[in-house]
A and B are shown apart, each in its own frame.
Chain A
Amino acid sequence: MRNYEVTFIVDPVLSGDEIKATAQTYVDHLNEIGAEVVDLDEMGLRQLAFPIQKRTSGVYYSLEFRIEDGSFIPKMELAFKRDERIIRYLTVRLDKYAIKFNEDRRNGLIGKDRKKKEQEEIKPKVVASAVPVSKKAKEEEE
């Protein structure tokens, strides 16, 4: 199994539903093929650093998935090329550090959410300590 990540930019001229549908078609396609979609991250509308196809902004999506081998990738890239709704894409194979990084980011351990998450974790810890006791009690009953 290999992890891949494809980041693509969707044309912002489309309506909100159409943009979501575009991303969803690729997710569905991957599910059909038998790949495991790990995460679909909508990075939102961003200003492009330079114009592409006369567009100055785009909606960024990042799609992470696991698949048995890479033979599907050229087919997917061809579909991206033919799709007029997509202005640019980039497929990257993830190494173990990147997988860890993406996982941490999803759990809010990296970046802006980090401090919030830490504060939240301090409070539940008190509650969490109570859980193992109840588990032990259950085991004793059994």
Chain B
Amino acid sequence: MASRDDIKFLSNPKIGKKQKKFCRFKKYGIKHVDYKDPEFLKSFVNEQGKILPRRITGNSLKFQRKVSVSVKRARHLALLPFVTDLFK
């Protein structure tokens, strides 16, 4: 018969615990978002090329603004698409 200790690990204890999101710019000390680097900016848009909201990326407001401006500049220069499907 399973003892009390075995039962404890039948379900994954990590499930249900939310991982706290963080602003990667603040954490790694990035001060400037470059609009000429589409590979980096790709991580802030979804498959249709739309900018992801702050509640998903976890960016602070200050850097979310900078990211969105950079993405828009990159779009103007045809480094990122305005609309697509199956981007990434």
The residues of A with any CB-CB pair to B shorter than 8 Å are: 7, 9, 43, 46, 48-50, 52, 58, 60, 62, 88, 90, 92, 95, 97-98, 100-101, 111
Complex Cα–Cα for A100 and B31 (A): 9
Give the number of A-B contacts (CB < 8 Å): 41
Q: Say if the beta carbon of B36 comes within 8 Å of chain A.
A: yes
Interfacial chain B residues near A97, Cβ < 8 Å: 31-32
- Given A88-B76, A101-B31, A7 contacting B36 (CB threshold 8 A): yes
- Interface SS, B side: loop
Q: Which residues of A contact B35 (CB under 8 A)?
A: 92
B interface size (C-beta, 8 A): 17
Nearest-neighbour CB distance to chain B for A127, whole angstroms, equals 30
Q: Are B73 and A90 in contact (CB under 8 A)?
A: yes
Q: Mark B16-36, 1 if CB is under 8 A from A, else 0.
A: 000000000000000110111
Give the residues in chain A near B79, CB-CB below 8 Å.
Answer: 46, 49
CB distance from A97 to the nearest CB of B (A): 4
